[in-house]
Structure 1
Amino acid sequence: MTTQEVADKLVSLCREGKYDEAYGLYAEDAVSVEMPGVPNEITKGIDNILKGFENWANSIEEHHGGSVGDAVVAGNHFMVPMTSDATFKEIGRCKMEELCVYEVENGKIKKASFFYDPSIFGG
C-alpha cells in the first residue's frame, strides 16, 4: 500500500472504532513513541504495542466522545489529528487533543509518534 492508502485505511478504521484492525497496518517491528516522561514512552514490536493498547483500553471506565480528523500526507509520513474524551478508572475524566504522526515503510506503519499535553493525566 502507498502512504496515502495506509493513511486512508487507518482513518477509516479509527472512525469506525476498529482499533484492533488498525493495528494490522503496523509492521511487526514497529515502534510507538509517546510524550517524554509518560509511562511506556517507547514501545517496540507489534506484540508489545498491542499489549500497551489493551492496558490503556482496560483503564477506561467510560467513553464520552472523540474525533478522528483527515490525514495529511507528506512523502512516507502522515499526520492525523485526534481527540478523545474518556473517564479513566484511576485519574478521572480527561479530554485529550493529539497529533498522531506515522512513518510508512513497505506499505506498513513503521513508527507512530503521539504529541499531546501529558499534564491532562495529572502529571
Structure 2
Amino acid sequence: MTEVGANPTAAAADGRLAGTIAISFANVTFMFDQVVRGTRDAAAEPPIQPGYLSYGEQFMTTIAEVEAHGITFSGNITSAAVQVHNNDAGITADMDARQALLRSINLETVRE
C-alpha cells in the first residue's frame, strides 16, 4: 500500500511563490502586441509590415492563454494546500488516526 502526502505549509509557500511569478504574467499579451508593433515599425519595409501584424494576431491567443494559466496557477496551488491542511486536520479531529498513519500528520497552519 502506498501513501500520498503533502506538506501544506510548503505547498502554501510554493503557492505564494507562484503568485509572485504570476504577477509577471500580467499584461504579457499587451506587451507582446507592443513588441510586434514596435518591430514592425522599426525593422520592416512597408510592403512586409502587414506580416508582422499577421504574426502578432496568429500568436495572440496563445500568449493570452499563457497569461491566464500563469495567473490561475498560484490559486490552484494555494487551494490544494488548504485542502491538504483541512483533510489532515479533519482526520486528526474526527478519527484520531494519527498513530495509524505511516507519516506524521501535517498540522501546521496554512497562512495566506
Name the TM-score class by shorter chain.
under 0.3
| Structure whose residues are more often helix by fraction | 2
Could you tell me the TM-score, scaled by structure 2's length? 0.24
**Looking at both structures, which has the greater relative contact order when contacts are Cα pairs under 8 Å and sequence separation is at least 6?**
2
| Structure whose residues are more often strand by fraction | 1
